[in-house]
Amino acid sequence: MLLVRTYTAPSPIHGTGLFAAEPIPEGTAIWEFTPGLDQLLYHQPEGETKDWSWREEDCWVVPQDDARFINHSLTPSGKSGGSRHGIDRAARDILPGEEITLDYATFDLDYPEYEQALR
């Protein structure tokens, strides 16, 4: 579940992105897995759900809020806390209107396959 005020808008990175609606100081909790809201699947998702889920050791995590619009960056504004086992936090101060990004390689076991497909 998102823990800060955000909004979605067209992203210069890809499609729709998630943007800060307020200043987010470095270290602030941005998102955490919330049982009963977010989903764990023990099979690979299909359709659109596949696009915004990620694979951990034994399952796929599917956020059920606008966190699904967080785009990938090699210089992310956020850092992953390990998805369902931790809390994603601001890696630095994030200004209002700035896109919230994560480095997918730090938490998604399938990221190398996505990266290869982009080349």
Question: So where are the chain's domains?
Answer: 6-118
Which mean pLDDT values do the consecutive 10-residue runs of the chain (119 residues) have? 97 96 98 89 83 80 92 94 78 98 88 65
Buried residues in 38-47 as b, exposed as e (16+ CB within 10 A): bbeeeeebee
Q: Is the pTM of this model over 0.85?
A: yes
The predicted structure's pLDDT at residue 118: 56
The predicted structure's pLDDT at residue 110: 82
Q: Which amino acid is at 111?
A: Y
The predicted structure's pLDDT at residue 85: 65
CATH number 2.60.40.290 given to 6-118: no
Question: Closest Cα partner for 70 from 16, 117, 12?
Answer: 16
